[in-house]
Amino acid sequence: MDKKRVAIQGIKASFHEEAAFKFFGEDIETIECNSFKQTCEALKAKKADYVVMAIENSIAGSLLPNYALLRDYRYSIIGEVYLRIQLHLLALPGVKFEQIKNVESHPIAIRQCIDFFDEYPYLNVKESTDTAACAKRIRDEQLTDTVAIANQLAARTYDLEILERRIESNKKNYTRFLILTDHKETDIPNANKASLSFQTTNEVGSLANVLNIFAGHQVNLTKIQSMPVLGRRNEYNFYVDIEWEDASLYQQAISRVLRHTVNFTLMGEYLKNERV
């Protein structure tokens, strides 16, 4: 049986590959891409079967450019993954902390470790495009004065040792990833979460009416994000995530919401993933 081909932003052992492993298992073919747009293009060109895309972080917030990609490519959302972001200091085997002069990582990862760097102000911090790429460079170039900030998967993949564990400032740091596909057969048995997009009229209370319909049918709103409609002043697309326990009440709510919205799109129904 052919392996599932999963497009990720970054290289092997990045957090996106870790999220892919959590959803699909490790017996997959990872398609490395330099950008989120490239992951969508890989799916469009049939070079991948799925895309794993970060959509929000508990510290950094929503990744707004990725909402634009969801709008432009209109792929189906078939699942989600919450990944705890744990950041470690990785070095070549045998390297001592006293030898370190340089630290490399993605700028967001660096910012998430600010308390650690306050303790060691003499370290030269360098920004890079990908956490895993920094780990790979240390392995490939055998750098003994440089460490990377990356995950445990990167340490395992590139044969590095963890000098310092859990150096992130906030220990409750999560990123939510979406699983996208262009397959038409996307029915998920017992789905209990959905992602929607729609516009409302400019009438007073129009958005409130939609939200009240969900509340009245015991459908829980877990996320709402607005994005301007291209070329239209004061008009917005709303991206909404909802959860339910009673599928019939959910279906009734959707039927009513359709009457109060414009350009309604059901982006996907799937199983919610609990944080761990």
The two structure tokens encoding residue 98? 């006293």
In a domain, 25, yes or no: yes
Expressed as residue numbers, the domain containing 65 is: 4-84+173-181
Q: How many CB atoms lie within 10 A of CB 167?
A: 20
- pLDDT grade, residue 1 (50/70/90)? low
Per-residue pLDDT at 167:
96
Query: How far apart are alpha carbons 39 and 58 in whole angstroms?
Result: 23
- 71 and 177 belong to one structural domain: yes
Residue 108's domain is classified under what CATH number?
Answer: 3.40.190.10
**Same domain flag for 233 and 123:** no
Residue, of 60 and 163, whose pLDDT is higher: 163
User: What does the pLDDT read at residue 276?
Assistant: 57
Residue 155 has pLDDT above 90, yes or no: yes
Q: Are residues 143 and 245 in the same domain?
A: no
pTM above 0.85, yes or no: yes
Q: What is the pLDDT of residue 185?
A: 64
* Residue 113 forms part of a structural domain: yes
Residue 2 pLDDT: 86
Given pLDDT bands bounded at 50, 70 and 90, which one contains residue 59? confident
Predicted local confidence at residue 233, as pLDDT: 79
Same domain membership, residue 118 and residue 15 = no
CB atoms under 10 Å from CB of 46, counted, come to 9
pLDDT at position 115, please?
Answer: 94
pLDDT of 254 higher than 60: yes
Q: Mean pLDDT, to the nearest integer, of 140-167?
A: 97
Token pair 């990582």 is at which residue? 105
49 shares its domain with 177: yes
Q: What is the pLDDT of residue 234?
A: 77
What one-character DSSP code corresponds to residue 258?
G
Tell me what pLDDT residue 137 has.
Answer: 96
pLDDT at 94: 96
Question: Are residues 120 and 229 both part of a single domain?
Answer: no
Q: Is the pLDDT of residue 211 over 80?
A: yes
The count of structural domains within the chain is 3
In tens, the pLDDT along 12-43 reads 999 999 999 999 999 999 999 999 999 999 99
Q: Is residue 228 part of a domain?
A: yes
Strand partners, 3: none
Residue 237 has pLDDT above 90, yes or no: yes
